[in-house]
Chains A and B, each alone.
Chain A
Amino acid sequence: MKPTRKSLWTALRSALLGLAAAGTLGACAMPEPWVKPYERERLSDPLMKVQRDALSAKHLEHVHEVREGARGGTGVQGGGCGCN
């Protein structure tokens, strides 16, 4: 049976409604920031920083990079040792 214009519209409307409902539910399910700024005191402790001092971190990165085949990916800004 050839679909009529009305049945097409009904199907399209149902699809749109379904999409909107799923989207709304999905959006509702988006998490809120669950660690509030006032709960981050421990995270700002210097103990939590892996690379506390940039100068020291860059030197260690340099020492490793000139002796190992691997390089990068450590998050040390700039990267590279500028040497042979």
Chain B
Amino acid sequence: MAAIDRCRRALRKTQLTLLALGRRREGARGLPFVASARLLGALGGLLATGHAQPAELPEDRADLMLHSFDGGGVSAWGPALLVRKNLLNKASLFATYYADIVSNASIDVVTTASPYDETRHEYGFGVDHAVRDSLITVAGSYSTEPDYIATAFNMDVATDFFSGMTTVSLGYTYGSDDVGKVGEGFFDNAKHWRYRVGMTQILTPRWYANANFEVVSDDGYLGSPYRTALVFGAAVPERMPRTRTSRTVQFRLVGEVAPAWVVRGEYRYFWDTWDIGAHTFGLGVATRFGEKWLVDVYARGYRQEGALFYSDNATSETQYVTRNRQLSTYNSWAIGTKATYALMRVPGRYEITLNGAVEYWNTDYSDFTDLRTGSLYSYNATVLQLYVSALF
């Protein structure tokens, strides 16, 4: 905002100079100067409308969650924790912990390797700082599992413009991973860069729109040392490119169509240098039942075109080849619901809520064969979240 203030002061100074020049000239000769001065005045006025209410720091809160995923032979569950505390009204510090206790007997594992159990721990720390109408977030995370260590740093800035009707956000994440294999130790690394920009625009007192764009670049070991591909029916270690760049755009529209009935629609398009293209569609409704219940119901559709070097069973030798079904062609749909119950609430002081969320999905692969049956593979999965939130 200091830059905007400087800009406004410079505009005002130039405007006064132009007006003085215009007055010194008689009749039409002074008109260009006066008109230019008025133009600058209008521009200065427009900048003045950019002043918004100061950005607010997030509320102090604590969340304790139990989460689980079960589907396709994989189960993962564990606790997660978030604590956020305001510091002298200048900054909001937060810390997170997240655990994934994984038992993996997925189709890849049972057909080419042995089922395994492992635990991932992720620790995150960060700070939000409000500067006039901007909120700056700086955060870091550290994730560790027996054969993978990931460290990431991110910085995000969200600024309000146009009297708070428009919010523009910019973000950057840098990640560095050590990649290993159980029994062999760490042998390679991967680096990741994420750049994102977003805009939220208030349209009416009951509707707003949101658009996001994100570029992700990777460099390093991007495959799995355990995974095999099939070439002429023979199992060979997968061969993956060491670079990848993807782009994603997402558009979202949210609005209240009737008192306490909110609908949302969203669409995301993804494309990358591995020739994967994906469409994500989402529709949701949120409403309130009585004073204590808040319920969301949503549906999600996902369609993906596979990577150029993906093959269920390659019939020619190529530089890169994978049978990672995450990179294949498939359709997926999901339905989900989330309910929030206000357990205790003292307005302006604190609120404690109980939350439950469940998402059920189905995925049908178009070119990934279940080697046990010879038919195309598909699976169902259920995601559960149970958590208690305290805002104070």
- A-side interface residues toward B, CB under 8 Å? 13, 16-17, 20-21, 23-24, 27-28, 30, 32-37, 39-43, 45-48, 50, 52-56, 58-60, 63, 66-75, 77-84
Q: Which residue on chain A has the smallest CB distance to residue B35?
A: A20
Give the residues in chain B near A63, CB-CB below 8 Å.
69, 359, 383
B315, CB-defined interface residue at 8 Å: no
- Does any Cβ of A come within 8 Å of B202's Cβ? yes
User: Would A80 and B173 count as touching, CB distance under 8 A?
Assistant: yes
Q: Which of B42-90 contact A (CB under 8 A)?
A: 42-43, 46, 49, 53, 63, 65, 67, 69, 80-82
For B254, the chain A residues whose CB sits under 8 A away are 48, 50
The answer to whether the Cβ of B287 comes within 8 Å of any Cβ in the partner chain is yes
**Complexed CA–CA distance, A79 and B155 (Å):** 11
CB–CB A80/B194 < 8 A: yes
Q: A30-B46, A55-B82, A79-B154 are in contact. Are A69 and B175 (CB under 8 A)?
A: no
Q: Which residues on the A side are within 8 Å of B63 (C-beta)? A: 53, 55-56
Give the contact stretch, choosing among B1-9, B157-165, B232-240, B370-378.
Answer: B157-165
Whether B137 contacts A69 by the Cβ 8 Å rule is: no
Question: Is the beta-carbon distance between A79 and B196 smaller than 8 angstroms?
Answer: yes
Q: Is the CB–CB distance between B152 and A72 below 8 Å?
A: no
Closest to A59 in B: B67
10 more A-B residue pairs beyond the given contacts A69-B270, A72-B216, A83-B120, with a C-beta to C-beta distance below 8 A: A50-B266, A56-B63, A63-B383, A67-B363, A68-B304, A69-B326, A70-B270, A74-B212, A78-B124, A79-B171
Contact status A50-B264, CB under 8 Å: yes
CA distance A32 to B284 in the complex (A): 31
B326 contacts A82, C-beta separation under 8 Å: no
In the complex, B189 has a CB within 8 A of chain A: no
Give the shortest distance, in Å, between A81 (CB) and chain B (any CB). Answer: 8
A67 touches B152 (CB 8 A): no
By a CB distance below 8 angstroms, the chain B residues around A54 are: 82
Known pairs A35-B202, A63-B69, A80-B175; A72 contacts B246 (CB<8 A):
yes
Distance in angstroms between the alpha carbons of A69 and B38 in the assembled complex: 53
Majority secondary structure of chain A interface residues (helix, strand, loop or mixed): loop
Select one of A32, A47, A69 contacting B307, CB under 8 A.
A69
Does B286 reach chain A (CB closer than 8 Å)? yes
The answer, yes or no, to whether B139 is at the interface (CB within 8 Å) is yes
Which of A48, A53, A56 contacts B208 (CB under 8 A)?
A48
- One digit per residue, 1 when the CB lies within 8 angstroms of any chain A CB and 0 when it does not, for chain B 161-203 equals 0111100010101010101000000000000101010100011
A42–B256 CB distance below 8 A: yes
Query: Can you show 12 pairs from A to B with CB atoms below 8 A apart?
Result: A35-B165, A47-B286, A55-B80, A66-B326, A70-B246, A70-B270, A73-B213, A77-B139, A78-B139, A79-B196, A84-B145, A84-B148
A60 to chain B, nearest CB (A): 7
| A20 near B36: Cβ-Cβ < 8 Å | yes
Q: Assess the B264–A59 pair: CB atoms within 8 A.
A: no
A54 to chain B, nearest CB (A): 7
Given A16-B32, A63-B383, check contact A77 B137 (CB 8 Å): yes
Q: How far is the CA of A68 from the CA of B324 in the complex (A)?
A: 11
B78 CB to nearest chain A CB (Å): 10
- Contacting pair B156 A23 (CB below 8 A): no
Q: Which residues of A contact B355 (CB under 8 A)?
A: 53, 56
Q: How far is the CA of A79 from the CA of B175 in the complex (A)?
A: 10
Report yes or no: A79 in contact with B179, Cβ–Cβ below 8 A: no
Q: Within 8 Å CB of B333, what residues of A?
A: none
* Residue B150, interface by CB 8 Å: yes
Given contacts A59-B80, A69-B278, A78 and B224 within 8 Å (CB-CB): no
* Contact with B49, one of A33, A56, A71 (Cβ below 8 angstroms): A33
A30 to chain B, nearest CB (A): 5
Whether A40 touches B202, Cβ cut-off 8 Å, given contacts A53-B63, A70-B280, A80-B192, is yes
Find chain B residues with CB under 8 A from A37 CB: 53, 163-164
Q: Are the CB atoms of A17 and B326 closer together than 8 Å? A: no
Q: Does B312 touch A at the CB level, under 8 Å?
A: no
